[in-house]
């Protein structure tokens, strides 16, 4: 009886907490890599190139330090 009761509570369609935590960690690492890549690309730009994009160095720093937003 206990096996039947515990089996009925198991929902294979819902990922476990470990799977959800792992996915969240992977998403955070992906976002950090993207931001790092963007920072290096922007840092390599000249002031003229940044003006063409409509940005300043301080705006870049502000944008890249924003917290990670959830979906």
Taking residue 59's Cβ as centre, other Cβ atoms within 10 Å add up to: 13
This prediction has a pTM of 0.56
**CA separation for the pair 30, 8 (Å, rounded):** 36
H, E, C per residue of the chain: CHHHHHHHHCCCCCCCHHHHHHHHHHHHHHHHHHHHHHHHHHHCCCHHHHHHHCCCHHHHHHHHCCCCCCC
pLDDT confidence of residue 25:
93
pLDDT confidence of residue 61:
79
Domain limits, the chain: 34-71
**CA separation for the pair 51, 24 (Å, rounded):** 36
pLDDT confidence of residue 8:
53
Mean pLDDT by 10 residues, the chain (71 residues): 54 78 92 85 88 86 71 47
């Amino acid at each position: 009886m206990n096996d039947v009761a515990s089996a009925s509570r198991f929902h294979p369609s819902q990922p476990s907490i470990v799977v959800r935590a792992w996915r969240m960690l992977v998403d955070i690492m992906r976002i950090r890599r993207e931001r790092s890549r963007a920072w290096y690309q922007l840092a390599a730009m000249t002031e003229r190139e940044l003006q063409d994009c409509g940005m300043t160095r301080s705006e870049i720093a502000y944008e890249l330090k924003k917290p990670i937003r959830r979906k």
